[in-house]
Structures are given as structure tokens and as C-alpha cells.
Structure 1
Amino acid sequence: KAGIPLGVMKVLDPRQLKPDNIETERILTVFDETIVKLEITRLILRIIGSLERFARMLGPEITSSLLEHQKLSMEIQELLASPGDEERRRAVEQRLKCSLRNTLRLFLANPLLYHGLKYEVWVRETPADVFIKAFKEFRDFTLERLLTSPDEEKEKIQFMKDISLQVEKNTETISALQAELEAAIQTRDEEVNSKDKKIEHLKTSMEKLAKDCKADIQQIIKEGEKQQKEDEEASQDRCARLEQDVLHLIAQFKALVLEHRVLELVLRKVKGR
């Protein structure tokens, strides 16, 4: 809270507000006692509903007072349910008020008991709680008004104006930074999308290239196998022709040998004559 004027600190933090005169202290005492009485009254119905449970903690005097209060409450309910005897009803109402005041007096005389019961007694939230909360806020507001001087009030108003102006400036700055951030995020997303598209394109190109290379290799292998087959067939044809030529030459050779032998026999016969 550095930089906050002392007068404003007193207004913003109720703990800084301290009574500075007897009249203010009296007013606050009335407020605080009323709040305690409201809270005790709120607990009474719950305590009466489980009086046996809390009897030892309450003691005989308060227990007796609560029993009397319970009896009068039931009696007034019966009278309200069947109206007619107005004088008796007013008398019972007066006794009920006196009973409540007496019960509150006994509790106020024993603050430790009251504070202990606040933690022992569980009460569901009721409209009374809303009223007590509003009354406490009214007490703090009244205290603030009582202890805030005109100069401090002006100082508070000016401080709140300054704070509002600063909040407005901060809001504008935050909006501008938010816009810059959104623009930066959009730019980043666009760059990422562009890179993703390039990567996808390269991936597609590489897959196509690999596919084309595979097709080319298969074509080369196919053509090589075809050429090899053709070469093998041509070689087989040449071998067959050569084999035929060899056989033909062998046949010619044998014929020549035979012819040569015949001629030798003829020559021998001629010489023998």
C-alpha cells in the first residue's frame, strides 16, 4: 500500500479507523452490542431446540431462562393461532420481551459462553444472517463517516479518481498489448502454416520422386532382362548354327577322308599292275 495517503488508508482499511472521542465510542458501543444481541437471538432458537445437549454448558440460570422463553413462545403462538383475547396476548408479548431481554442480559454477562456457543451451535443461513451482515456493514460505514474529516473525504475522492484513471490507462495498455499479442500469434500461425505447406510439398515431391525412381529402376531392370533374354536367344541361335556348321564340316571331313582312302586304293591297284 505504499504511496497511498494516510487519510485514504484510514478509509480503505477499517482497522485504521479508531474512535477519537467519547461520543463516537458510545455510538460504536451501541452498534457492537446490538450486533451481539442479534447474533445471540439468532442462536437462541437453535439452542432451545437442543436444550438438553447444551444444558451443562449453559448452566442452570440460563437454562431456566431459556425454558421460560420457550414456554412463552409456545403460548404466544397459540394465541396468534386463535385470536380473541387481545389483553392476554399483549400481556404474554410483554412477558416474552422481558424474557428475551433477561436471556440476552445473562449471555452478555458471560461473553466466553457466547463465543463458545458460536462454534458449538450450527445454524443454517437464514434471512437473519443477511440482516446481521448488512447491519455490520452499516456499522463500518457509519464508523467511516464519523471518523473521516472533510479533507480526508476530498483526499479519498481524488485518490479514487486517480485510481480510476490509472485503471483506465492500464486497461488501454492491456488492450494494446493484447492486440499485439494476437497479431504476433496470427503471424506465427501463418508462418507455421506456410512451413507446414512447404514441408508437405517437399514430402509429396520426395514421394513422387521415389515412386518415379522406382518405376525407372523397374523399367531398366525389365529392359535389361529383355535384352539379356534376347542376347541369350541370339547366342543360342549362333551356337546352334555353329553346331550345324561343325557337323557339316565333320561330315565333309569324313567324306573327304573316305574319298581319300578310295583314291589310295585305286592308286595301289594301279601301281600293282
Structure 2
Amino acid sequence: MFKLGSKSDADILKSISPSMKVLSSREAKLILRVMDECIHQIEIVSFFPSLLENPEPFTKSLGENLLRTLKEHQELEERHKCLVLDGSHDQTNSQVALSAKAVQDSFRKIVRILRGTAEALRSKETQCAEDIVKMRDGLCELREIVLERLLTSPGEEKQLREMVLEVSQSHAANQVLIDSLEKDLAMAVKDKDEEQLRSTLQQKEKALQEFVGRTQQDAEKQTHSDQKTSEGKRARLQQEASQLNSQINNLIAANREAEVELRKKKYKEETEIENVIQKYDVEMGEKQTELEEMIKMHETDQTELRELEELYDVLDVEYSQIMEERQKAQELKELQEKELEIQSKAATVIQALWRGFCTRKALKSSAKSKKAKKGKGKKKK
């Protein structure tokens, strides 16, 4: 019988279980809240690859604002990768640092937005990376350990250490006893196995001798049969080989004739190709000469064209000046004609007024002379 100590199993379980069920200190609650926040952050980060890869299924539950922020984050991340990988533009460290900071700020912004949508994300089927799953499970286990440690009082912790020490000492004593019993068992099994092995070995040797005898007899029979079969195959193969040799000789002769014909055809085609190449070279030389002459003519024409364009520019300026002067002269002429017309109308009006004035004056003079004559006649009477 193995003894684990003076305490029973119920006492051990009772000593391991903490007496407190609720955290009382503010520091313990703060530590547990930090652990919960870490687990929550890991859960949010585990959804991040699925959101970046295929954000459309989350449109209704998360809203357009988050999708727009995810697209902006992808653009910032691609830009940062280009800055890091592309060394041809001599990007400074400050630009890379600013780009990295922008990516980090964008990531924090997405995490802040996702804090309130964790339940909506859990309702969706998303595949998380194995490393993230392991980290999340490890944090959950660590939370349970920390919670149990926080719920354990100092007295219980001391009692637990004493219990663990007692169990380890008892386990060491039991292990010594187990090793001794295993050695005794091994010796007994070894003695029994040796006797069985001797008996089995004798039986195996006898059966092996019988098997070897049968095998030798079967091998001799098979050898005679194979020898007869091989002689027949050998004769048949020799006959087939002679037939194949005659066929090969016939094919070689036919191939030689075909080779001669092909060589003649090849020589003829090579001669024709050489003639065509020579003719092509002559024609290309003539075309090259014509092309050079045309290039010279084109250059001459271009020179004359430039000279004519320069002359045209000068004449265009002179023409513009002449037309401008003509326009001014025409405007001056029209202005003079208008002034002359106005003067003629004014002279006509003045003359008409003058004639009217002279007529009125003459009428007044004649009227006065008639009145004077009438007055003299009355005096004479």
C-alpha cells in the first residue's frame, strides 16, 4: 500500500480550494480587470484578419464607418510596406517612423471602434490564426490561475506549500518502493522468459531445418524448370534478334538514300537562300541610298521650311502692323466723315435759322415803316 501522508483526499481538496469566493481588495480587482481587458483585446485582434480580408459580411452589423476605417488602414499599411521595401527613393527614417506611427494610430482607432461590437463579431463565423487562439487560451488559463491565487489567503497559501512539500516527500518515498518492486518483477520475468526462450528456440531450430530442406527441394525443381524455359526463350530471342538485325540493315539503307536526297534538297535550298539574301542585300543597299538621299532632301526642305517660317513670321508681323494702320486710318476716315456730316447738318441748321432770323427781321422792319407812314398821314389831316 502506498501512503500519501497523514491527510485524507477530502482534506487535500479542501486545502487546495480557496476559502474566499469574491475578490475583496481593490488591487486584486484591478489585476483581474487588466487580465479581462487583455483577453478582450486578443479576441478583438483575432477578428482583425477576417475583417481586412472580407469586410462585406460585417457591413450591416458594424456599419460603414468601420469599413471605411478598415480601407484607410489597408492603404496606410500598403504605403508603409512600400516605404520599407522600396529603397530606390532614399526614404528617410523619419518618413518610415511617421508611416509606422500612422499605422499604429489607425490600428488603435479600429480597436476602439470594435470594443462595442465584440458580440456582433462573435455571432459571425470567423477563422482565427492558431497562434492567436493559443495566446487567447493561454491568457484564459493564466486568468484562472491568477484568480485562484488572488482568492487564496496568505494562511491558505502557507498551508498549500506545506501540503505540496508533504506530498512531494511521500511521492519520493513511494517512488523508491516502486523502483524496488519493478526490479524484483523484472528479475522474475527475465528468469521465466529465459526458459520459454530456450524451449521456443529449440522448436524454431527444428522447424527451420525442415523449412530449409523443403526450400532446397523446391529450389532444385524450380531450377530445372527455369533452365528448360530459359533455353526455349533464348532460342526464340536469338531468332527475333536476327530478324531485327535484318530490319535494321534495311532501314539503314533506306535512311541513307533518304539522307542523300535530303542533303541534295538542303544544298539546293541553301543556294536559293543565299541568292535571295544577296538579292536582298543589293536591294537594301539601293533602298538605303535612296533613303539617305531622301533624308538629305528632307533636311534641305526642313531648312527651307524654317527659313520660310521665319520670313512668314516677319511678314505676318508687318501685315498685322499694316492692317492695324489701315484699320486706324479707316476709323479716322469714318470719324472725319461723321464730323463732316455733323458740320454739314449744323451749317444747314444755322443757315435755316439765319434765314428765318433775317426774314423775321425784314418783316419787322416793313411793319414799322408801314406804321410810320400811317402816323404821318393822320397828322396831315
Smaller-chain TM-score range? 0.5 to 0.7
State yes or no: 1:86 paired with 2:84: no
State yes or no: 1:52 paired with 2:56: yes
Q: Equivalent of 2:154, from 137, 146, 150?
A: 150
Q: Equivalent of 1:102, from 102, 106, 109?
A: 109
Q: CA deviation digits over 1:231-272, x for unaligned, max 9?
A: xxxxxxxxxxxxxxxxxxxxxxxxxxxxxxxxxxxxxxxxxx
- Which aligned pairs between 1:66-81 and structure 2 lie closer than 5 A? 66-81=70-85
CA distance in 1, matches of 2:64, 2:175: 63
Per-residue deviation, 1:48: 0.3
Say which SS state the counterpart of residue 10 (structure 2) adopts.
coil
Gaps of 5+ in 2: 1-8, 204-381
CA, structure 1 residues 186+34, in 2 after alignment: closer, same or farther (shift >3 Å)? closer
CA distance in 2, matches of 1:102, 1:64: 12
CA, structure 1 residues 187+80, in 2 after alignment: closer, same or farther (shift >3 Å)? closer
Aligned to 1:112: 119
Aligned to 1:229: none
Moved over 6 A (4+): none
State yes or no: 1:176 paired with 2:173: no
Aligned to 2:127: 122
| Aligned amino acid, residue 34 of structure 1 | C
Q: Given that residues 39 and 136 in structure 2 are in contact (C-alpha distance below 8 angstroms), is that contact kept between their aligned partners in structure 1? A: yes
CA, structure 1 residues 167+17, in 2 after alignment: closer, same or farther (shift >3 Å)? farther
| Aligned amino acid, residue 102 of structure 1 | K
CA distance in 1, matches of 2:37, 2:115: 9
Per-residue deviation, 1:129: 5.7
- Which aligned pairs between 1:120-269 and structure 2 lie closer than 5 A? 120-126=125-131, 135-136=139-140, 139-189=143-193, 192=196, 196=199
The number of aligned residues is 190
Say which SS state the counterpart of residue 4 (structure 1) adopts.
helix
Per-residue deviation, 1:112: 1.7
Say which SS state the counterpart of residue 12 (structure 2) adopts.
coil
CA distance in 2, matches of 1:7, 1:22: 25
CA distance in 1, matches of 2:54, 2:169: 56
Per-residue deviation, 1:109: 0.9
CA, structure 1 residues 18+178, in 2 after alignment: closer, same or farther (shift >3 Å)? farther
State yes or no: 1:4 paired with 2:9: no
Gaps of 5+ in 1: 201-273
CA, structure 1 residues 111+47, in 2 after alignment: closer, same or farther (shift >3 Å)? closer
- Which aligned pairs between 1:14-53 and structure 2 lie closer than 5 A? 18-53=22-57
Per-residue deviation, 1:49: 1.8
| Aligned amino acid, residue 127 of structure 2 | W
Q: Given that residues 79 and 89 in structure 1 are in contact (C-alpha distance below 8 angstroms), is that contact kept between their aligned partners in structure 2? A: no
Q: Given that residues 17 and 143 in structure 1 are in contact (C-alpha distance below 8 angstroms), is that contact kept between their aligned partners in structure 2? A: no
Per-residue deviation, 1:52: 3.4
Q: Percent same amino acid among aligned pairs?
A: 25
Say which SS state the counterpart of residue 122 (structure 1) adopts.
coil
Q: CA deviation digits over 1:121-172, x for unaligned, max 9?
A: 223434x566556655554554454333322221121111122122212222
Q: TM-score, normalising length from structure 2? A: 0.41
Q: CA deviation digits over 1:3-34, x for unaligned, max 9?
A: 315342349xxxx8742334322221122112
| Aligned amino acid, residue 176 of structure 2 | E
CA distance in 1, matches of 2:148, 2:111: 28
| Aligned amino acid, residue 76 of structure 2 | L
Q: Given that residues 84 and 96 in structure 2 are in contact (C-alpha distance below 8 angstroms), is that contact kept between their aligned partners in structure 1? A: no
CA, structure 1 residues 86+140, in 2 after alignment: closer, same or farther (shift >3 Å)? same
Per-residue deviation, 1:106: 2.7
CA, structure 1 residues 7+99, in 2 after alignment: closer, same or farther (shift >3 Å)? farther
Q: CA deviation digits over 1:58-109, x for unaligned, max 9?
A: 443432332222222223333444633836953x555444432332233221
Say which SS state the counterpart of residue 92 (structure 2) adopts.
coil
CA, structure 1 residues 192+31, in 2 after alignment: closer, same or farther (shift >3 Å)? closer
| Aligned amino acid, residue 122 of structure 1 | Q
RMSD across aligned positions (CA)? 3.7
